[in-house]
Amino acid sequence: MEVKTYKNVPLVETIFEIRFQGEPAIECNRDKFYEKIRNVYPKVLVPQVSEGKIMALEPYRFEQDDGATGIMLSINKIAIYCKKYEGFKLFSEEVMRVFSIFQELFKIQKINRTGLRYINILPFTREDNIIPINNYLNIKIDLPRSIPTDFKNLSIIFVSQTEGGSITTRIEPAISSDQTQEVIILDFDYAKEGDLSFSLIKEYLDESHQHTKYLFEELITDDYKKVMLGEVI
C-alpha cells in the first residue's frame, strides 16, 4: 500500500490499551509509577466514586498540562491516549517508553487483550437535507428498491475478522459541541485477544496500525483524500 502524508488529518484521538489479570501491586504502588512519568504527565485525575463501580477497575489519569496526551492506569489495564497525533512513529515510541516503565515496576508478563483505536471526524454539509456519505466514504448499502438510500441519518457498526484479530468500525453523524458543524464520525478499534505476551507489544501495535491504516485508506474516497492532502478546499 502506498504511504501518504496528509496535511489535513481528520484524526482527533488515538488510544492504545492493554489488559491483563488484575495486579494488586498496581493499586499499592501507583505513586512509584507516577514519580517516573510526572515530568511529562504532571496532571493527576482521580476517578469519581459512584454507586455500582469497582474503584480498583476505574483508571487514574496522568495527563500533560495541555491535556493533549495522557495515560490511564488501573488494576487490570494501562492505556495511552493522544489528541494531537503527530504520526505513528512518535506515538509508538511514546507507547513503548511508558510501557517499559510500567513493565519495570510491575513485571506483567501475560496480557489478554490489546486495542488500538483511531477516532476520525469528517466535517460535511448536507445536500437537500441528505448526508452525502458517498462524497467521503467508499461504502455501498444494498436495500430493497422500495427503500430510498438518500439518508437523513445513519448509524453503521461492523466487525471485520483478520488473521490475528478483529477490527470494529463505527460510522455515524454527529454535531459539534458548539452546534455549528455536522460531522461524520469514523471510528476504528482493532483488538487482539487471547494468550498474549507483554514482550510482543511492539509487534501487536504495529500489526494493529497496519490493518487500521489499510481499512482507512480503502474507505476514504479519492476526492476526500485530495482534501486531506491539501489539494482542494
pLDDT in tens, 12-60: 999 999 999 999 999 999 999 999 999 999 999 998 776 666 666 789 9
Across 157-180, average pLDDT:
91
Given a cut of 70, is residue 184 above it in pLDDT? yes
Q: Is the pLDDT of residue 70 over 50?
A: yes
Mean pLDDT estimate for the chain: 91
130-152 pLDDT, tens digit each? 999 999 999 888 888 888 888 89
What gap in Å lies between CA 96 and CA 101, rounded to an integer? 9
- Which set of grid coordinates corresponds to residue 136? 467521503
Average pLDDT over residues 110-126: 96
- Cα–Cα dist 137/94, whole Å: 31
Q: Is the pLDDT of residue 232 over 80?
A: no
For residue 1, the model assigns a pLDDT of 47
Q: What is the pLDDT of residue 52?
A: 62
